[in-house]
């Protein structure tokens, strides 16, 4: 197993970070949808704390991930795939990257606007990047949740396409990432 990507296969670094982030993001989506409607309680506060620190972890990971991707070749898609599907696949990938940045950054802006900075697993307190402002907070909350819905839809397209390639087209598209 190679560290770096080849023309036919993703390397171990790309695979590990892909699946690790997939787990984190699914967990964050479930947690985010669950916690937002809870009445104010100690549990809600703790869940928000967890959501914030894992959000920051995702932001750190995606910065590393995009750097790794730029420094690597990307395995080619099978030549049998129509051009529009290749385009769609790449568009979905870049949209996913966009969400992986936009969600933590809007979260960071939200927690700044609320004046409730999070601790990163007790290691340091995240600095605020916005002055506390209730109007901005409301707006950012809306943006953050719409981004989450957008991510869920894009994620559905990504998973659906991977499964279609594996079970219907029976090609190597999913296996490159396994």
What are the residues binding another protein (CB under 8 A)?
A: 40-43, 45-46, 48-49, 52, 114-119, 122, 125-126, 132, 134, 137
Look at residue 41 and give its three-state secondary structure: coil
Supply the minimum distance, in Å, between the C-beta of residue 143 and another protein.
17
The distance in angstroms from the start CA to the end CA of the chain is: 11
Look at residue 120 and give its three-state secondary structure: strand
Which of residues 109 and 151 has its CB atom nearest to another protein in the complex?
109
Which of residues 94 and 124 has its CB atom nearest to another protein in the complex?
124
Which of residues 80 and 131 has its CB atom nearest to another protein in the complex?
131
Look at residue 124 and give its three-state secondary structure: strand
Integer angstrom CA distances of residue 16 from 3, 30, 64, 126: 10, 21, 12, 26
Supply the minimum distance, in Å, between the C-beta of residue 132 and another protein.
3
Supply the minimum distance, in Å, between the C-beta of residue 43 and another protein.
7
């Amino acid at each position: 197993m190679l560290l770096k990507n080849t023309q036919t296969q993703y390397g171990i670094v790309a695979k590990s970070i892909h699946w690790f982030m997939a787990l984190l993001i699914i967990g964050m989506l479930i947690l985010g949808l669950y916690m937002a409607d809870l009445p104010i309680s100690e549990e809600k506060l703790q869940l928000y704390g967890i959501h914030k620190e894992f959000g920051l972890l995702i932001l750190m990971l995606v910065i590393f991930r995009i750097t790794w991707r730029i420094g690597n070749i990307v395995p080619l898609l099978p030549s049998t795939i129509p051009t529009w599907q290749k385009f769609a696949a790449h568009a979905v990938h870049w949209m996913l990257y966009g969400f992986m940045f936009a969600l933590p950054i809007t979260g960071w802006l939200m927690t700044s606007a609320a004046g409730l900075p999070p601790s990163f697993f007790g290691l340091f307190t995240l600095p605020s990047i916005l002055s506390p402002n209730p109007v901005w907070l409301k707006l950012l909350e809306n943006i953050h949740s719409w981004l989450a819905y957008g991510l869920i839809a894009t994620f559905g397209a990504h998973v659906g396409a991977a499964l279609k390639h594996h079970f219907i087209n029976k090609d190597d598209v999913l296996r490159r990432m396994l």
